């Protein structure tokens, strides 16, 4: 295999860069194998973090994010926020055009925001992310005023997300399948969607008129690639094989088992970035025994040697998490590091103190004739990153070190939802990839949070989250989120953070300009990508 | 013939109803599935219920569903919000290509192996049946991976993915066709050997017919009967195997659509795939019944 590589590389370069010669990289085509098929191509309907890398080929969000996470211009040249945080005034670029030739102006942005208010279009976004939206007004041809009902610290984050992707108002009216999108739902992005074949590929060609890249991009002007094809290869081993044999030039989603092979191959390059959002964590269901007792929650965390488990399952490629907030987020509280976990003696002492003193024939702890059993029920489509194997490793550890019976159930979506409805679970496992972790915390932690499955209710936490959402002051938000983290991780032990999800890109040597979106930590669009030496 | 047609319609109605009932009885209600992992508020739920008409009694929903089917309306996908008919239309041809190519590969391989080895020496027979046993018992996923790593990743003869051209069809068709070749080959050879021991074979040999002509003109017809019966079975195997093969090779097709729909709880798509499979099954078994008449004059009598 190794000896074949140079030959294959030569073949691959010959195959993909046939037009490489005089104009250099100006007219190259690239094939990128990805794991997950998009369930929609309409950015307003977007819901899969794994499909985020496609969105900004075809669409530009209203504003962009810089490497430091700050908000920067894109089609919106500049903006002002009134002192009460209720009115946003955007000045728009006047040289931006949609792929269908229509001009991008204030009326177009208004049409995009108003579209969310159409009943049944995207009720979730309308009621949560845009819940504070009051009125949108095109003051001048390229000046837009947005009024909010209450201050919303996440509003710019929303406009920088795929939901902020600007769609041509004409195609919003004429698209055949508005919610699904497709070549007839167009944006202003650096690539034009040419073809989508379900189960096979999605093909974009360069937008030659593109001249409005965000300041954080690697270059200005049209994209380097004349064409980029994303192939859907859900099987990891097949993606890696297609890359090593030069049939594709880039892949995303590299399993831990293949990392070594790719690193040892000089013809290949690997990049990794931690995702933003929340860590992959176990949330304890505090509404009924045994996790209504904080000592049992702490004991479960102490019973697991997380480092050893991660090493065994991910071969040392995973990053351990210490907080519900991922380490890539600006709101991560690093002072929580090394504050829990891996102390078997403490775990046993805590369980003894909590009254789980007897043992049954299989060695599990028993109290009042009941075994110390906890269940995690997860829906198969959402299990990824070998989290099933991870759960089995944790299961073995808590049994051996503390006599806890951890039952891992991976079921279909309906059964999982039934378990949630019946409260028939003690552990809820989740990670979220929101670019601003506040959006994720607002769903998971407050009393009425849409996915508050731990049942933990704390008015202080609700108050801090509300205040953090309402302010634009990042330092203030950091302080508030640090308090939240301290309470749920340390003081109350509601959360068991395990690892920080990451994305990987592997590519053939010679492919340049690949990278990660500073907002989300997921792979960037193909705008800066080129093939060259 | 009329009776067969009516029976076919009854089978399809039963399939539609069974699919409907199974999904009705499956845990989790439709609203939960439509909400998915997204935000969940009473307003969102109310919106979904109104949009999909889920507040009507189940019987009414069932009758409405049958009514839509009769008009050829397969409904709309929960996941992608596109018409189900439109989703399937784009995926039928790649699956048809794959399954036909796999069936042709399987039948051709089985025929060649059986004709070459039937009634010949013990060694060739043993070798052939060993190969058949392996191809039947190794899971198609593994066959696919092995074929890919040898012929695509290492030798680079065939591309891994897509339905780009005939060369992209070779490996998937082989992966899907091998198990069929294994079973059919065994059945066909046994049939041939049994036919060659029949008294008519002795008579034919006595007339001076060569062994080759005897097999081709007389024995094959006898051996084909059990094979045709098996063809009904392998329709099912092909449709089921297409799921794995399409996902593995990154090919478009019904299997891959079914996979996405099942994991995502996309009921209208799942039901449409079930129905389509029933239609294919009924059609093929009807055709097979006709084939019996052609092969075996006794049925006609």
Tens-digit pLDDT profile for residues A410-433: 887 778 878 888 899 999 999 988
Confidence band (pLDDT; 50, 70, 90) for A26? Answer: low
Above 50 in pLDDT, residue A2? no
Between chains, do B256 and A11 touch, taking CB under 8 Å as contact? Answer: no
pLDDT band with cut points at 50, 70 and 90 for residue A6: very low
Polymer length in residues for chain A: 533
The CB density around residue A435, as the number of other CB atoms within 10 Å, is 27
Six-digit token pair at B55? 């507040």
d(CA B68, CA A239): 41
Predicted local confidence at residue A15, as pLDDT:
42
How far are the Cα atoms of A235, A270, B65, B145, B279 from residue A260, in angstroms, in the given order?
18, 10, 52, 20, 48
Angstrom distance (rounded) from CA B140 to CA B242: 10
* pLDDT attached to residue B58: 78
Q: Which A residues 263-322 touch B at CB under 8 Å? A: none
Asked whether the beta carbons of A521 and A273 are under 8 A apart, the reply is yes
Q: Is B250's Cβ below 8 Å from some Cβ in A? A: yes
**Nearest residue in chain B measured CA to CA from A47:** B38
A127–chain B Cβ distance below 8 A for any pair = yes
Give the residue from chain B lying closest to A32, CA to CA. B161
Q: How many Å is the Cα radius of gyration of chain B?
A: 24
Residue A16 has a pLDDT of: 42
Interface of B with A in 254-293 (CB under 8 A): 256-257, 260, 263-265
Nearest residue of B to residue A42, measured between CA atoms? B80
Report the residue of A201, A238, A451 to disrupt the B interface, i.e. the one with the largest count of B CBs within 10 Å: A238
User: Best of B78, B150, B153, B245 to disrupt the A interface by mutation (most A CBs within 10 Å)?
Assistant: B153
Of A36, A35, A38, nearest to A179 by C-alpha is A38
What residues in chain B have per-residue pLDDT under 70?
Answer: 1, 26-30, 32-44, 51-52, 118-120, 161-164, 265, 299-301
Looking at beta carbons, which residues of chain A come within 8 Å of B83?
177
Q: Enumerate the residues of chain A whose CB falls inside 8 A of the CB of residue B246.
A: 199
B246 touches chain A (CB under 8 A): yes
Residue with tokens 């210490």: A322
Could A247 and B253 be called an inter-chain contact, meaning their C-beta atoms sit closer than 8 Å?
Answer: no
- Range from A81-90, A207-216, A344-353, A446-455 carrying the lowest mean pLDDT: A446-455
| Six-digit token string for A416 | 């999982």
**Distances in whole angstroms, Cα of residue A95 to Cα of each of A102, A103, A105, A188, A216:** 11, 8, 9, 11, 19
What mean pLDDT do residues A317-333 have?
Answer: 93
| Longest distance between any two alpha carbons in chain B, whole Å | 86
Q: Which of A211, A210, A250 is nearest to A34 (CA)?
A: A250
Chain B contact present for A232, CB below 8 A: yes
Instruction: Tell me the C-alpha distance between B84 and B272, whole Å.
Output: 7
Residue A487 gets which letter from DSSP?
A: I
Average pLDDT over residues A442-446: 92
Closest CA to B259 of B275, B278, B240: B240
A380 touches chain B (CB under 8 A): yes
Quick one: average pLDDT of A39-46?
Answer: 91
Check A200 against B36: CB less than 8 A apart: no
Q: Which residues of A are less than 8 Å from B163 in CB distance? A: 197, 200
The pLDDT, as a whole number, for residue B33 is 65
DSSP state, residue B83: B
What's the confidence (pLDDT) of residue B34? 67
Distance from CA of A192 to the nearest CA of B (A): 21
Name chain A contacts of B36, Cβ cutoff 8 Å. Answer: 47, 413
Q: Give yes or no for residue A10 having a pLDDT over 50.
A: no
Query: B253 — contact with chain A (CB < 8 Å)?
Result: yes
pLDDT at position B162: 60
Give the closest-approach CA distance of B68 to chain A in angstroms: 20
- Average pLDDT value for residue range A182-195: 95
The pTM (predicted TM-score) of the whole model is 0.81
Query: Which of A5-9, A505-509, B198-202, B283-287 is most confident?
Result: A505-509
Q: A179 contacts in B (CB within 8 Å)?
A: 80-82
- Is A250's pLDDT higher than 50? yes
**A9 has a pLDDT exceeding 50:** no
For residue range A455-491, what is the model confidence (pLDDT) as tens digits?
999 999 999 999 998 888 889 999 999 999 999 999 9
Q: Cα torsion at A114, A117, A122, A127 (round to 10°)?
A: 120
Give yes or no for A422 touching B (CB within 8 A).
no
Closest-approach residue (CA) in chain A for B28:
A414
Nearest CA in chain A to B24: A414
Listed in sequence order, the residues at least 6 apart from B164 whose beta carbon sits closer than 8 Å to its beta carbon are none
CB count in 10 Å sphere of residue A509: 15
B53 touches chain A (CB under 8 A): no
Q: Which of A129, A183, A199, A432 is the best substitution to test chain B (most B C-beta atoms within 10 A)?
A: A199
Pick A241's closest partner by Cβ from B149, B162, B264: B149
pLDDT, tens digit, for every residue of A155-177?
Answer: 999 999 999 999 999 999 999 88
Quickly state the pLDDT bin for A355 (edges 50, 70, 90): very high
| Residues B28, A128: C-beta atoms closer than 8 Å | no
Chain A hits for B43, Cβ within 8 Å: 123, 127
Contact partners, residue A184, CB within 8 Å, separation at least 6: A171, A174, A175, A176
Contact A413 B36 (CB under 8 A): yes
| Whole-number pLDDT of residue B184 | 85
Gyration radius of chain A over CA positions = 25
CA distance A50 to chain B (A): 14
Please indicate whether, in this complex, the C-beta atoms of B248 and A235 are within 8 angstroms of each other: yes
> Cα dist. A203→A153, A188, A230, B61 in Å?
36, 16, 6, 39
Share of chain A above pLDDT 90, in %: 68
């Amino acid at each position: 295999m190794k000896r074949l590589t140079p030959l294959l590389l030569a073949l691959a370069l010959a195959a993909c860069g046939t037009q490489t010669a005089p104009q250099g990289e100006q007219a190259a085509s690239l094939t990128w194998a990805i794991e997950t098929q998009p369930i929609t191509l309409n950015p307003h309907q977007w819901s899969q973090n794994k499909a985020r890398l496609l969105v900004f080929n075809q669409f530009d969000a209203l504003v962009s994010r810089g490497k430091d996470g700050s908000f920067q211009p894109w089609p919106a040249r500049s903006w002002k926020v009134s002192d009460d945080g209720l009115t946003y005034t955007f000045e728009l670029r006047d040289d931006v055009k949609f792929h269908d030739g229509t001009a991008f102006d204030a009326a177009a942005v208004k049409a995009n925001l108003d579209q969310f208010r159409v009943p049944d279009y995207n009720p979730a976004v309308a009621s949560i992310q845009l819940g504070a939206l009051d009125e949108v007004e095109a003051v001048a041809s390229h000046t837009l005023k947005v009024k909010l009902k209450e201050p919303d610290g996440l509003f710019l984050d929303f406009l920088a997300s795929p939901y902020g992707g600007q769609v041509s108002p004409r195609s919003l009216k004429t698209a055949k399948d508005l919610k699904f999108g497709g070549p007839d739902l167009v944006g202003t992005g650096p690539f034009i969607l040419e073809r989508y074949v379900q189960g096979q590929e999605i093909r974009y060609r360069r937008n030659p008129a593109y001249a409005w890249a965000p300041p954080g991009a690697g270059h200005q002007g049209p994209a380097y690639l004349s064409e980029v094809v994303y192939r859907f290869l859900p099987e990891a081993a097949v993606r890696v094989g297609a890359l090593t044999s030069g049939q594709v030039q880039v892949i995303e989603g590299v399993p831990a088992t293949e990392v070594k092979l790719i690193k040892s191959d000089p013809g290949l390059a690997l990049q990794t970035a931690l995702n933003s959002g929340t860590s992959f964590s176990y949330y304890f269901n505090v509404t009924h025994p045994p996790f209504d007792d904080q000592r049992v929650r702490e004991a479960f965390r102490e019973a697991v040697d997380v480092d050893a488990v991660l090493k065994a399952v991910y071969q040392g490629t995973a990053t351990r998490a210490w907080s519900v907030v991922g380490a890539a987020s600006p709101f991560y509280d690093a002072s929580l590091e090394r504050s829990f976990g891996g102390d078997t003696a403490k775990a046993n002492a805590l369980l003894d103190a909590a009254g789980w003193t007897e043992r049954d024939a299989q060695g599990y702890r028993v109290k009042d004739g009941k075994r110390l059993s906890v269940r995690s029920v997860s829906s198969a489509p959402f299990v990824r990153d070998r989290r099933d194997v991870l759960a089995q490793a944790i299961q073995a550890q808590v049994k051996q070190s503390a006599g806890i019976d951890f039952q891992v159930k991976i079921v279909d979506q309906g059964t999982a939802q039934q378990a949630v409805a019946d409260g028939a679970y003690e552990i809820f496992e989740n990670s979220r990839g929101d670019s601003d972790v506040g959006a994720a915390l607002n769903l998971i932690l407050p009393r009425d949070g849409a996915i508050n499955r731990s049942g933990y209710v704390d008015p202080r936490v609700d108050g801090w989250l509300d205040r953090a959402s309402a302010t634009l002051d990042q330092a203030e938000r950091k302080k508030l989120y640090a308090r939240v983290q301290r309470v749920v991780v340390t003081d109350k032990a509601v959360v068991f953070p395990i690892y920080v999800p990451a994305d990987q890109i592997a590519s053939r040597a010679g492919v340049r300009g690949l990278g990660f979106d500073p907002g989300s930590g997921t792979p960037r669009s193909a705008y800066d990508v080129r093939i060259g030496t | 013939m009329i009776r067969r047609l009516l029976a076919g319609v009854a089978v399809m109605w039963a399939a539609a109803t069974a699919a409907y009932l199974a999904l009705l009885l499956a845990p989790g209600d439709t609203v939960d599935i439509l909400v998915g992992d997204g935000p969940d508020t009473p307003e969102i739920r109310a919106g979904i219920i109104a949009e999909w008409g889920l507040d009507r009694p189940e019987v009414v929903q069932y009758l409405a569903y049958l009514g839509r089917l009769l008009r050829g309306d397969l409904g709309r996908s929960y996941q992608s919000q596109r018409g189900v008919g439109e989703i399937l239309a784009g995926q039928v041809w790649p699956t048809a290509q794959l399954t036909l190519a796999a069936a042709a590969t399987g039948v051709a391989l089985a025929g060649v192996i059986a004709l070459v080895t039937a009634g010949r020496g013990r060694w060739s027979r043993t070798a052939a049946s060993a190969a058949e046993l392996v191809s039947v018992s190794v899971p198609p996923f593994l066959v696919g991976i092995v074929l890919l790593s040898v012929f695509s990743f290492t030798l680079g003869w065939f591309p891994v993915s897509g339905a780009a051209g005939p060369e992209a069809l070779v490996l998937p068709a082989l992966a899907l066709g091998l198990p069929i070749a294994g079973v059919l080959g065994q059945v066909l050879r046994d049939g041939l050997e049994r036919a060659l021991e029949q008294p008519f074979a002795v008579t034919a040999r006595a007339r001076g017919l060569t062994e080759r002509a005897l097999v081709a003109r007389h024995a094959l017809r006898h051996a084909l009967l059990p094979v045709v019966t098996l063809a009904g079975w392998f329709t099912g195997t092909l449709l089921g195997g297409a799921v794995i093969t399409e996902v593995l090779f990154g090919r478009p097709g019904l299997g891959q659509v079914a996979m996405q729909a099942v994991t995502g709880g996309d009921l209208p798509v799942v039901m449409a795939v079930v129905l389509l499979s029933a239609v294919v099954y009924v059609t093929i078994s009807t055709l097979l019944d006709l084939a019996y008449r052609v092969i075996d004059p006794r049925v006609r009598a």
